[in-house]
Chain A
Amino acid sequence: MYLSPVIRTFSLLIQLVAQSGGDPRSPGIAVEARLAGRWGISVGDTIAIAAEAAGPAQQRVVEAIYRGRADPATALRGELAVRFHLADLANLLGAPDRVDRIGVAVRPGIGPDSAAARINQIGFGFRAYPSATIASESSQTFLVVSRFHQAIGFIAIVASAVFLLCIMLLKVEERRLDAAVMRMIGLARRTVFLAFLLEATLLASVGAALGAALAYLATVLTNLFYQRKFETTLVFAHLTPDIVLLAAALSLVLGIGAGALAAARLLGATPLALWRRA
C-alpha cells in the first residue's frame, strides 16, 4: 500500500540513477505519470532521492507509475508527486512525526463519516476528516468564482437581450420598404407581421444553434488548452444540456419577442407612411 501525499510538505530532490535493473532490495516507490513522462522514468528504473539539496541521497526502485486523480485544488500548482511506503518516507525524511496528512481509503460499504469518527476515537495526535468535508472547505474559492461567473452570465444575458432587441429593430426597419410594398399590393397586416415573425424565429433558431456550436467549440478548445497546459484530465469548461436548453430558450424567447415588438411597431403605420419613411 502506498500512502500519500506527504510530498507537498517536503521538497524532494530526485535523480535518475539507472535505467532498469536496479537493486531489487531497495524500497520501491511509485512515480506520478507526469513526472515519469517528463524525466523519461520507467518501471524498474533506479532513482536517487534526497530530502534536501545537501542531504544524503538514497536510491529507490520505481515499482509503479501512476496517474494521480485530477484535483482542482492542486492542478494549477504544477506539483509533481512521488509515493513512498510510509515507513520508507519516514525513514527518508528522518522525521516521522512530521507527516502532516495521510489519505485513508475505506472499503466499499464503510461510510467515510463513521470511519473518520472511529479513527478520531482511537487515534492520537491527528484528526480525521471525511474527504467530502475537506472538499467542501477547500472549494469555497470555487463557489465564489462560480457565483462570479453566474453574475457575469446574468450581465451577458441582459446585454445580449438589449443587443438582440436593437438588432431586430434595425433588421425590421431595414424591411420598411418591403413592408410598405407588401401592404400596398394588398397583403394584410397580419400576413406581413407573421412573415416578420417567421423570419425572427428562423434568425433566433439559427442564432441559438450557432451559439451552441460556438460554445461547444469554445469548451473543447478551452479544455484542450488548459488540460495540456496543466497536464491534467480536469474539465475546465463544461457545456451541459441544461445550459444549451436555457440558452436556446432565451434566444428564441428574446428573438421572437424582439421581432414581434419591432414588427408590431413597424406595422402600426399605414402603407403610405411606411413608403414615405422608407
Chain B
Amino acid sequence: MAHSSVVIEARNLAKQYSINAAVVSALRGVDLRIDRGEYLAILGPSGSGKSTMLQLLGGLDHPSSGTVRLLGTDLADLNDRELTRFRLTTIGFVFQRFHLLPVLTAVENVELPMAEAGRPRGQRLARARELLGYVGLASRAQHRATELSGGEMQRVAIARALANEPALILADEPTGELDQATGGQILELFDRLHRDGATIVVVTHDEHLAARAGRQVRMLDGRIDSDTHG
C-alpha cells in the first residue's frame, strides 16, 4: 500500500529497445519516489533516459521490467482504455512544442480534456476561463491557437494540463521552444503552480529551470546519477 503522500513510485524500472536486432537499454533499474507537492526536475544529457523515464511515469509506454505506481495504482494493471482514462484524470502533460489543436480556440483547447471527462459544458467553460485567467490569458480566450505567440501557446497548454485537476503534471522541456524572456514567464508560472500545491515533474536540459525546482534528479546512461534537494 502506497503512502498517502506518495504520488508516484517507480521501482527497478528498466526499458530496453530493439534497434536493428541490437538491444539498447534506455533505463537500467531506476527507483524513484515523488511525493505530493514536489517540484522535481529530471536532467541529463541526450540519451541518458530522461525522456523514457517521463514516458513511463506518464503511462505512455510500458517498462520492460519494474513497476510504476501512480496514486497507488500499478499502471501495468490497466488496459489501454483504463490507462487512457487514468492519464486524462490524473496526469497533466505539457509538451515542448505546446501541441494545441490549431482549429480550436484557447478556451476550447482547455475545455477539451474536461469534455472528454464528461464535465457539463457550463462547468468546463467556467473552469477553462478560470484557468486561462490563472495563466494570464483571459483576454485571449477566443483566439485560435494559431493566433497566439509561443509563450501564450505554452500558457494555454499549461492551463489545458490543469483542466482535470491532475495529481501530477509532467512537462517535457517546457521552455525549449521559447526565448529567454518568455521562458522566464513560464518558469514563474511553474513556480506559482508549485506554491499552489501542484506536483510537477519537468524533464529539461535547462539548468536555470532545474535550479528553480526543489529537487533535481540527474540521469546518466539510464541510471539516476544524483538526486538532490534544495
Give the distance to chain B from A38, nearest Cβ to Cβ, in Å: 59
- Residues of chain B with a CB closer than 8 A to A270's CB: 60-61, 80
Known A-B contacts A182-B101, A272-B55; the reply to A187 vs B95 at CB < 8 A is no
- Residues of chain A with a CB closer than 8 A to B117's CB: 186
The residues in B between 82 and 104 inclusive whose CB is less than 8 angstroms from any CB of A are: 84-89, 91-93, 95, 99, 101
Known A-B contacts A184-B93, A186-B113, A272-B61; the reply to A178 vs B101 at CB < 8 A is yes
- Residues of chain A with a CB closer than 8 A to B84's CB: 183, 186-189
- Residues of chain A with a CB closer than 8 A to B95's CB: 181
The residues in B between 30 and 81 inclusive whose CB is less than 8 angstroms from any CB of A are: 55, 58, 60-61, 80-81
Q: Specify which of A177, A178, A186, A275 is in contact with B87 (CB 8 Å cutoff).
A: A186
Known A-B contacts A184-B87, A186-B87; the reply to A177 vs B116 at CB < 8 A is no
The residues in B between 146 and 188 inclusive whose CB is less than 8 angstroms from any CB of A are: 160-161, 164
Interface centre among A270, A271, A272 (most CB of B within 10 A): A271
- Residues of chain A with a CB closer than 8 A to B93's CB: 184-185
Cα–Cα distance between A177 and B89 once the two chains are bound (Å): 21
Q: Which residue of B lies closest to A187 (CB)?
A: B116
Contact A185 B88 (CB under 8 A): yes
Give the distance to chain B from A214, nearest Cβ to Cβ, in Å: 26
- Residues of chain B with a CB closer than 8 A to A141's CB: none
- Residues of chain A with a CB closer than 8 A to B6's CB: none
The answer, yes or no, to whether B141 is at the interface (CB within 8 Å) is no
- Residues of chain B with a CB closer than 8 A to A182's CB: 101, 112
| Size bracket, chain B contacts | 20 to 34
Contact B85 A186 (CB under 8 A): yes
The residues in B between 110 and 148 inclusive whose CB is less than 8 angstroms from any CB of A are: 112-113, 116-117
The answer, yes or no, to whether A191 is at the interface (CB within 8 Å) is yes
Q: Which residue of A lies closest to B164 (CB)?
A: A186
Cα–Cα distance between A4 and B136 once the two chains are bound (Å): 87
Cα–Cα distance between A72 and B11 once the two chains are bound (Å): 86
Cα–Cα distance between A272 and B59 once the two chains are bound (Å): 10
1/0 per residue A140-158: CB within 8 Å of B? 0000000000000000000
A–B pairs, 25, beta carbons within 8 Å: A181-B95, A181-B99, A182-B101, A182-B112, A183-B84, A184-B60, A185-B87, A185-B93, A185-B113, A186-B85, A186-B88, A186-B89, A186-B113, A186-B117, A186-B164, A187-B112, A187-B116, A188-B85, A189-B80, A189-B84, A270-B61, A270-B80, A271-B60, A272-B55, A272-B60
Can you add 18 more A-B contacts, CB < 8 Å, to A185-B160, A185-B161, A186-B84? Answer: A178-B101, A183-B84, A184-B58, A184-B60, A184-B87, A184-B93, A185-B113, A186-B89, A186-B91, A186-B113, A186-B116, A187-B116, A188-B84, A189-B84, A191-B116, A270-B80, A271-B60, A272-B61
